[in-house]
């Protein structure tokens, strides 16, 4: 009986150790598909709507037109609208690229995509399709896009390194990623442009253009793809302090 109790006690101790190790796993709260990449060293904002209440208000300051002009959107282009939501940019991009162009509206919110799909059908936007993504993968086809838009949403991306790494192949060789966001802490629905640039650069992008744009309630940043994309284990997370992105700071200036 004593021996049996001893064995039971040892098994209980081993079980407790295993359970303790499992609980101590720092990546237990992350998608399995993102665990080869570093964790974002910053807060991540919850999903929220645009800083503007209605599309009419956004149009009243010329938001979409300004962004499309800066991005040099032309008829015949293929564009992805990441975090498309209710489709403010999607429908305007569809008109801008014309019948010979294509727009892919992507979001991780299935309900929002269903509503957008109804809008697309109602407005007969035959050059638009929708795609359900995941928090760490936009699921875009390779070498397909002239422009990829991420407007007031990058601060909501939970796994920026995995997300951007998987977005990288979707650009055509001369394609651009367009980011519009606000210069404030990432936990408050914005992101410091230096940190933004640093995160993009760590996965194989280069800042190509940056403009402060009050009419966009923030700034406009434009990124090119570099020649090579690092392997996931080679990526180092950016620090939250402004000194983390020294090269990014030089590029922004």
CB 206 within 8 A of CB 176: no
pLDDT of residue 50: 46
Give per-residue burial for 47-73: e unless 16+ CB within 10 Å, then b: eeebebeebeebeeeebbebbbebbeb
- At residue 15, the pLDDT reads 53
| Backbone torsions φ then ψ of 149, nearest 5 degrees | -100, 135
**Predicted local confidence at residue 136, as pLDDT:** 97
Give average pLDDT by consecutive 10-residue segment, the chain, 253 residues.
Answer: 52 51 75 95 72 73 92 98 96 97 97 96 97 97 98 94 98 97 90 96 98 88 97 92 42 43
Helix (H, G, I), strand (E, B) or coil at 75: coil
What burial class does residue 106 get, using C-beta atoms within 10 Å of its C-beta: 0-12 exposed, 13-18 middle, 19+ buried? Answer: buried
**DSSP one-letter code for 158:** S
């Amino acid at each position: 009986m004593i021996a049996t109790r001893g064995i039971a006690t040892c098994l209980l101790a081993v079980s407790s150790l295993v359970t303790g190790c499992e609980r101590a796993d720092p990546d237990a709260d992350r998608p399995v598909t993102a665990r080869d990449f570093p964790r974002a060293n910053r807060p991540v904002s919850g999903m929220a709507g645009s800083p503007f209440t209605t599309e009419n208000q956004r149009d009243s300051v010329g938001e979409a037109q300004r962004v499309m002009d800066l991005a040099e959107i032309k008829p015949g282009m293929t564009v992805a609208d990441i975090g498309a939501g209710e489709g403010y940019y999607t429908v305007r991009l569809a008109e801008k690229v014309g019948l010979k162009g294509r727009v892919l509206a992507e979001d991780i919110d299935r309900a929002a995509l269903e509503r957008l799909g109804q809008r697309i059908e109602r407005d007969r936007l035959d050059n638009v399709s929708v795609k359900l993504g995941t928090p760490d993968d936009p699921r875009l086809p390779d070498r397909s896009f002239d422009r990829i838009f991420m407007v007031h949403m990058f601060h909501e991306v939970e796994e920026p390194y995995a997300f951007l790494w998987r977005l990288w192949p979707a650009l055509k060789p001369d394609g651009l990623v367009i980011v519009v966001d606000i210069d404030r802490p990432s936990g408050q629905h914005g992101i410091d442009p230096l940190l933004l640039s640093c995160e993009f650069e760590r996965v194989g992008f280069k800042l190509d253009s940056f403009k402060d744009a009050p009419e966009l309630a923030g700034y406009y940043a434009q990124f090119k793809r570099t020649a090579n994309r690092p392997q996931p284990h080679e990526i180092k997370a950016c620090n939250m302090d402004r000194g983390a992105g020294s090269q990014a700071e030089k590029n922004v200036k």
